[in-house]
Amino acid sequence: MKNTLRVERAILRVTQAELAEKVGVSRQAINSIETGKYIPSTILAIKLARVFDKSVEDIFIIEPQD
């Protein structure tokens, strides 16, 4: 699953550590989400979307399956 988390963080000038603190996870978790190694839970996806005042669909892009 692709995401725009890194772009959204850059727009708000928020570090991975700052974002992690806001949503209650580790900086490593944020890094893993940004790099596509980890897909967040629904609750975490909602928390992240709220930080950026966006919808979950604006941040997380589901790629079509072949």
The CATH number covering residue 40 comes to 1.10.260.40
Is the separation of the CB atoms in 52 and 8 below 8 Å?
Answer: yes
Residue 28 within a domain: yes
**Gap between the Cα atoms of 60 and 45, Å rounded:** 8
* Domain limits for position 32: 2-61
- Do 5 and 59 touch, CB atoms closer than 8 A? yes
List the Cα angle 61/65/66 in 5-degree steps: 145
In a domain? residue 19: yes
> pLDDT at position 1, please?
86
Q: Do the domain assignments include residue 17? A: yes
Is residue 55 one of the residues assigned to a domain? yes
Could you tell me if residue 66 is inside a domain? no
How many CB atoms neighbour CB 66 within 10 A? Answer: 3
Count of domains observed in the chain: 1
pLDDT band, residue 59 (cuts 50/70/90): very high
Q: Give mean pLDDT, residues 20-29.
A: 98
